[in-house]
Structure 1
Amino acid sequence: MTALPSSRVAQLQDLTAPLARVFREEAQAADRQETLSVRGVQALRDSGYAALTVPASLGGLGATLHEFALAQEDLGRADASLALVAAMNAHLLGSAGEAGTWPPEVYARVARASVTRGALSNSLASEPDLGSPSRGGLPRTTARRVPGGWVLNGLKTWSTGSRALDFMVVTADAGGEVWRFVVEAGSLGVEVRDTWRDALTLRGSGSHDVAFRDVFVPDDLSVPPTRPGADMQACSSAWFWTAVAATYLGVGQAALDAFAGYAHARVPTALGAPISTLPKVQQAAGQMALDLLAARAALHAAALAWSERGPHADLLPQLAGAKLLCTNAAVSVTDLALRAAGGASLTADLPLERLFRDARAGITHPPADDQTLTLLGQQALHPA
């Protein structure tokens, strides 16, 4: 495997470090207020991160899947909610750009907006009846052909970053086929409903429902279904799974960071030394580090293989496995950090309780663990 040039690593770090600082500063207040941080979103727009996965030919940074994984972990380590807003835009532009499945003029319009003004996009596909689109089925959202375009009606759920989006890429049933429509923010008939309240997790992500009532979309912002080869169809999964894996890997790392800081600072009178000197605490930290090490290695190996070989459907089981390992590592590490820190972890003085909650969201993103194990099992039983 080929390592990234040091200059490229430095470029990614220069991009993510100041943005992660703002995300970290905003995380606790946004969680308590159950709102998407306005300051965090503006920092994201101003940072240039929206152009991370836009091809260089359109003025973007042209990040590979592996580079995206490295950058996204840094943001997840700062705050999962804001990191996911960034991730949804990056995976959408990265996958569509690599696969070439959008009409070129539609893709260029959205991508250039991300480059020039930090515009943010997300794919809105989940629905109350449909559930996760990864399980199949036609959306209830409909698209009806009218002169010059289409009219959309429907409801989308779990719309991460809803109020911050400049473009909503909406899936809809257009006569028995799933089309995608790029809806510009502020379009007549679009309503963001404040439904993301009292959630267990990701309280600062603004993942509200979005309703579409007779929303007109011109023909030049429609994306018809494409039937490319299996490798091109795999792009969407590869980029989304990597976005999820890297973000929650960052959440797990943040928990270890917070626990390490607490272990050095906590000096019980009975011990007269930091609890970091206790073998039990060292073993707990070691287990956390090992879980993260294994997950990170799997993610980097899979993402790097994709980046070096180009899109290959036979790499999807490996990427799915990396997603499973990263999201489950986040769950196990935040749980262990909570246990090891004791009662102090239950208060807002430490970020552990928020990280513990945020980590739980990772296992709900597709692919589900059962789907991943089936993919890996099929490949193991029937190797190419």
Structure 2
Amino acid sequence: MLRHLPTHLDPEMQAVTDRAASAIRTHAEACETAQDVTPEAAAALRASGYTRLTLPRASRGLGASLEAYAAAQGELGEANAGLALVLAMHTHVVGAAFQGRTLPDPLLAALAQASVEGRLVNALASEPELGSPSRGGLPRTTATPDGDGWRVTGRKTWATGAHALNLALVTAATPGGQVLRLLVPMDAPGVGTESTWAGALALRSSGSHDVTFRGVRVPGDHAAPPSPAHPASSAWFWTAIAATYLGVGFAALEALIGYARERVPTALGQPIARLPRVQEHVGRMAADLHAARALLAGAARTWDAAPTADSVPALAAAKAHATNAAVGATDLALRTAGGAALTPALPLARLLRDARAGLTHPPSDEVGYASLGAALLGTGPEGPPRPGPRVP
């Protein structure tokens, strides 16, 4: 049936995905209420084994391809977006770092050990003044030389899963204006977490609080020198975001289907699933979501075949398309369910709020679609037009 297509996950990958999804479903309500990742939820996420999903097999991971990762992460997003993003942040960092070799060997070894042991990692780059680093700019967080290491001081915002994290990959500027990435244990002296996420519009279970660093000592071998951007970083992050929010859209579809089958108004005398208008809306939602998932899967498959900069624009557009499909699906689900959608009896109000959060992640719609358009037109930022890639 169209609602349940093959996920292309091998049995071991499917097993850890199932365990992670089960952990998320078990703890989602408590985390939504706490507006944070509870200690019990964090322990369950670590124990699921999902942290090994994107780690190469040579490093004792499961070696998921980008296409397999998209399928797995979509299942987690359907369970609960906030907790799914905690695992998404870890797995996209690991997948990109190993495929692109974007970190020196000591840091890759530390990421591999953390993944095998189930310890959670996130890359912390956003700041109050800087906003998203995708727009450029120098971080206010500083790394000053301290013997053979560094001292890190500053503040990072939107730290998904802040209280659950074991390690943070922190961007910081040196006195000379270079940007380093430093792997910081979250229990190191000088690391603090400020609970700034309470009352957030969406993703309340993600616990995306601020993290502060006050003269935190980092050894020299846990710092990555400046390096050129690698397309793997964008490929894995955009896929993680697109898949997670597609899961939100599919959750809204499933919730609406269940409600439409059970809701029997006295004036109608039969389930509202019999109404042509409801059938049309469910069909529209399903078509939009499956089209977005097909675009994402095709773009990921193209990347797996040729992981180069030429394969990135389709992933950028897939992220934009997926997040908008999720927003459209959740909105249509609320319109179809009517007043019941506003009550806690249905999850649709939360799903609507969570879906809209997808629009805030880079790339923005204009960047995502324009990057694919420019690639197809052969008009990059410099040089004459050249033949563009085929859309997967």
Whether TM exceeds 0.5 here: the answer is: yes
Partners of 2:261 and 2:272 within 8 A in 1? yes
For 1:48, the aligned partner's letter is G
Q: Which runs of 4+ in 1 moved over 4 A?
A: 4-8
Over 3 Å counting, the alpha-carbon distance change for 1:363 and 1:285 in structure 2 is same
Among 265, 284, 289, the residue aligned to 1:287: 284
Moved more, 139-148 or 11-20: 11-20
Correspondence for 1:191: 192
In structure 2, C-alpha distance between the alignment counterparts of 1:246 and 1:328, rounded to whole Å: 12
Over 3 Å counting, the alpha-carbon distance change for 1:36 and 1:268 in structure 2 is same
- Which residues of structure 1 form unaligned runs of 5+? none
In structure 1, C-alpha distance between the alignment counterparts of 2:195 and 2:94, rounded to whole Å: 27
Correspondence for 2:245: 248
Among 332, 347, 350, the residue aligned to 1:351: 347
TM-superposed CA distance for 1:6, in Å, is 8.8
Over 3 Å counting, the alpha-carbon distance change for 1:7 and 1:349 in structure 2 is closer
In structure 1, C-alpha distance between the alignment counterparts of 2:61 and 2:266, rounded to whole Å: 55
Correspondence for 1:137: 137
Determine helix, strand or coil for the equivalent of 1:68. Answer: helix
TM-superposed CA distance for 1:8, in Å, is 4.2
For 2:147, the aligned partner's letter is P
In structure 1, C-alpha distance between the alignment counterparts of 2:292 and 2:120, rounded to whole Å: 29
Q: Give percent identity, aligned residues only.
A: 54
Q: Alpha carbon RMSD of aligned pairs, Å? A: 1.6
If the length of structure 2 is used for normalisation, what is the TM-score? 0.93
Counting matched residue pairs gives: 375
Correspondence for 2:104: 103
Correspondence for 1:235: 232
Following superposition of structure 1 onto structure 2, how do residues 139-288 of structure 1 map, counting pairs within 5 Å?
A: 139-174=139-174, 175-227=176-228, 233-288=230-285
Partners of 1:34 and 1:204 within 8 A in 2? yes
In structure 2, C-alpha distance between the alignment counterparts of 1:46 and 1:192, rounded to whole Å: 23
For 2:315, the aligned partner's letter is L
For 2:251, the aligned partner's letter is A
Determine helix, strand or coil for the equivalent of 2:205. Answer: coil
TM-superposed CA distance for 1:9, in Å, is 3.4
Offset from partner CA, 1:116-137 (integer Å, 9 cap, x none): x201100000001111100001
Among 311, 314, 317, the residue aligned to 1:318: 314
Correspondence for 1:31: 32
In structure 2, C-alpha distance between the alignment counterparts of 1:260 and 1:381, rounded to whole Å: 41
In structure 1, C-alpha distance between the alignment counterparts of 2:86 and 2:29, rounded to whole Å: 16
TM-superposed CA distance for 1:380, in Å, is 2.6
Offset from partner CA, 1:202-243 (integer Å, 9 cap, x none): 01101000111111100111111123xx7xx10100000000
Determine helix, strand or coil for the equivalent of 2:216. Answer: strand
In structure 2, C-alpha distance between the alignment counterparts of 1:21 and 1:353, rounded to whole Å: 22
Partners of 2:8 and 2:71 within 8 A in 1? no
Determine helix, strand or coil for the equivalent of 2:15. Answer: helix
TM-superposed CA distance for 1:148, in Å, is 1.9
For 1:46, the aligned partner's letter is A
Partners of 2:159 and 2:208 within 8 A in 1? yes
Among 330, 336, 349, the residue aligned to 2:332: 336
Partners of 2:249 and 2:326 within 8 A in 1? yes
In structure 1, C-alpha distance between the alignment counterparts of 2:333 and 2:200, rounded to whole Å: 22
In structure 2, C-alpha distance between the alignment counterparts of 1:7 and 1:280, rounded to whole Å: 34
Partners of 1:158 and 1:209 within 8 A in 2? yes
Offset from partner CA, 1:74-130 (integer Å, 9 cap, x none): 000000011000000000000000011211121112211210x20110000000111
For 2:70, the aligned partner's letter is A
TM-superposed CA distance for 1:10, in Å, is 3.2
In structure 1, C-alpha distance between the alignment counterparts of 2:45 and 2:23, rounded to whole Å: 9
Partners of 1:41 and 1:82 within 8 A in 2? no
Partners of 1:149 and 1:219 within 8 A in 2? yes
- Which residues of structure 2 form unaligned runs of 5+? 379-386
